[in-house]
Amino acid sequence: MLKLSQLLRSIALSILFGGSAMIVFAVVTLVKAAVAKGIPVAEAATNNVPVFVHYSTIAVVCAVVLLIAESIDFAKNKSASKITRARWATSLLTVATAMILSFGIMPLMKDLLPVLKTNDEAHQKFQQLHHASEGDIGAMILFALASMVLPIFERPKQP
């Protein structure tokens, strides 16, 4: 793999794994702090949606970078090992989860924000999207971690 594509792959996966984990950790901490101050959970959680909306933009950019880096490796690596193919698969799954979050879940959540407090149907739809985003972000974290770790198990090439 070209050094530049390795670097881009590493940066993208680091952000998709670590950034996603930290966003979740930070938001959970902020919600707990707000609830401790007497703010209802729903309101505290709703206040954090812009963080996820902005992060989903970062995630999709990193996903595109990851896709480009892995495509370069795929084009240059004609006889890939099972580990390398598994890495490509987990990278593609990471890209897919980032795309789902950025283009499928977050725009809908953002659209529901203005009517969330006044419309019960919107609130229920928002909750469904919230639960979908939890699974999606969890999958993104898992697949990005797997893609980062898999090369460790690659056997060194014989000279």
pLDDT tens, position by position, 119-141: 889 889 988 999 999 999 999 99
Per-residue model confidence as pLDDT tens digits over 6-25: 999 999 999 999 999 999 99
Distance spanning both ends of the chain, measured CA to CA? 17
Give the rounded percent of residues in the chain with a pLDDT score beyond 90: 70
The answer to whether residue 157 is domain-embedded is no
Residue identified by tokens 């966003």 is 23
The answer to whether residue 158 is domain-embedded is no
The domain tally of the chain equals 1
Question: How crowded is the C-beta side of 55, counted as CA atoms within 13 Å?
Answer: 22
Domain hosting 101: range is: 3-151
Nearest alpha-carbon partner for 28 in 44, 10, 13: 44
What is the model's pLDDT at position 33?
93
Whole-structure pTM value: 0.90
The answer to whether residue 159 is domain-embedded is no
